[in-house]
A and B are shown apart, each in its own frame.
Chain A
Amino acid sequence: LAKTTQPISMDSYEGQEVNITCSHNNIATNDYITWYQQFPSQGPRFIIQGYKTKVTNEVASLFIPADRKSSTLSLPRVSLSDTAVYYCLVGPPGAGFQKLVFGTGTRLLVSP
């Protein structure tokens, strides 16, 4: 499975756009990129998934360049409630969620 690398932590202020980049140099052809968010004292929750180009939903956008060796999670106009740990996972659908590896994630702190 593709190994992922993310920044350990990021700081931002309310109202700013935050971009968290994940590196996955050995991504396989059938791998998808999935991001999870974990608030303090809660379980992770799925926020977005993509294969290539751009995906957008009500929570975030995911940008994936043509070579797919990295991806960027974009959170528009963050608020204090976006303070969380964000995990990037890479793997193929159908192989089972147990195949996806949670690294240490990126700890985002949003300040007033």
Chain B
Amino acid sequence: NAGVTQTPKFQVLKTGQSMTLQCAQDMNHNSMYWYRQDPGMGLRLIYYSASEGTTDKGEVPNGYNVSRLNKREFSLRLESAAPSQTSVYFCASSAWGRDTEAFFGQGTRLTVV
């Protein structure tokens, strides 16, 4: 039972490059989320998807796009990476009716140089 799986675990990008962070959950959860965590700070919500086919902006959406490919997968895309996007990115999912209990992936550590 894998839970929430993120790929890759580590990535280094040059400024201006693009990449997609992948996230998949095997718990049949309806809702999925992308957060970023900067050193010494809490998690900040980038985008979320309440259900398949819907996505909404969170607190810090600028510079990112998302795709809810199906119920299992929710990807985060950086079209033109900037050093300010250096961070650890976490994907999470939750079930309807239990949405105060979310399950997180292991994170993707992204460095933009």
Residues of A with Cβ closer than 8 Å to B?
Answer: 32, 34, 41-46, 49, 87, 89, 91, 93-98, 100-105
Known: A41-B107, A43-B105. A102 touches B43 (CB 8 A): yes
Residues A95 and B99 in contact, CB atoms below 8 Å apart: yes
Query: A3 vs B99: C-alpha distance in the bound complex, in angstroms?
Result: 19
Known: A44-B104, A87-B42. 19 other contacts (CB 8 A): A43-B92, A43-B104, A46-B101, A46-B103, A49-B101, A93-B97, A96-B50, A97-B33, A97-B48, A97-B99, A97-B102, A98-B31, A98-B45, A98-B56, A102-B35, A102-B43, A102-B44, A103-B42, A105-B42
Residues A42 and B106 in contact, CB atoms below 8 Å apart: yes
Assess whether B75 is interfacial by the CB under 8 Å rule: no
Give the Cβ gap from A10 to chain B, nearest Cβ, in Å.
16
Chain A residues, CB < 8 A from B41: 104
Interface centre among A42, A93, A97, A105 (most CB of B within 10 A): A97
Q: Which listed residue, A46, A91, A94, touches B97 by the CB 8 Å rule?
A: A94
Residues of B with Cβ closer than 8 Å to A?
Answer: 4, 31, 33, 35, 40-45, 48, 50, 56, 58, 90, 92, 94, 97-107
